[in-house]
């Protein structure tokens, strides 16, 4: 199965079919589990992530009910209970956000080593996983703000790294992309420096 949170939450079967996961609460719960795919997430954290500082009475029972709804739509053994929390028993690589982070990290490592073509390939692949704003349909949940900011910062850094890699390749000129980036983020210094390099090279 494949899971996407770099945009609206999507779940696809092994055949590529979309799987419905229910309303806002189950979707929020699934997003929380996906951010820690393969690791146990405590019930208290699941409650805080959904309800913030003022959870309703019976919030733990509500989480249990939402888990039951998710289990009805997903393979039965996908969500495991481990004492104080729940674990989504999947490979983190099955989640677009984790795959993007790995590709961005590997791309940056290649960039630092001077392997510009390889870096550009990995960074393009990672950025191609984005379908819109991160966690788009659960962005109002209490947990989402911090995670959205973190993922968007990683995305922006990857865009900058890609421009840096492309500047070293003779067949590419990221001037237009960098002009858009500077306009969208006028207070960031790195895109301005990259744009100056791109204009000089052009």
Summarize pLDDT for 57-74 with one digit per residue, the tens: 888 899 999 999 999 989
Domain end: 92, 123, 153, which one? Answer: 92
One domain, residues 50 and 121: no
Domain around 43: 2-92
52 vs 135, higher pLDDT: 135
Last residue of a domain, one of 92, 118, 141: 92
pLDDT of the residue at 113: 97
CATH number at residue 78: 1.10.10.10
Mean pLDDT of 171-184: 87
Query: 2: burial class by Cβ within 10 Å (0-12, 13-18, 19+)?
Result: middle
pTM to 2 decimals?
0.90
* 2 has pLDDT over 90: yes
Average pLDDT over residues 4-24: 92
Which pLDDT score is estimated for 54? 83
Looking at the structure, tell me whether residues 74 and 145 fall in a common domain. Answer: no
């Amino acid at each position: 199965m494949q899971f996407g949170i770099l945009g609206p939450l999507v779940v696809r079967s092994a055949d590529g079919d979309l799987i419905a996961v229910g309303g806002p609460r189950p979707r929020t719960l699934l997003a929380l589990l996906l951010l820690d795919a393969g690791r146990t997430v405590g019930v208290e954290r699941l409650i805080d992530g959904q309800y913030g500082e003022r959870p309703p009475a019976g919030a733990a029972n509500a989480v249990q009910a939402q888990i039951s709804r998710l289990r009805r739509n997903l393979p039965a053994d996908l969500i495991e209970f481990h004492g104080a929390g729940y674990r989504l028993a999947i490979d983190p690589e099955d989640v677009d956000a984790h795959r993007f982070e790995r590709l961005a990290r590997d791309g940056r490592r290649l960039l630092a080593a001077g392997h510009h073509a390889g870096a550009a390939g990995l960074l393009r692949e990672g950025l191609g996983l984005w379908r819109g704003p991160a966690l788009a349909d659960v962005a109002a949940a209490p947990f989402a703000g911090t995670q959205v900011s973190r993922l968007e910062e990683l995305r922006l850094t990857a865009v900058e790294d890609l421009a840096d890699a492309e500047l070293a390749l003779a067949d590419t000129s990221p001037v237009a992309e960098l002009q858009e980036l500077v306009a969208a983020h006028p207070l960031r210094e790195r895109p301005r420096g990259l744009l100056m390099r791109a204009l000089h090279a052009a």
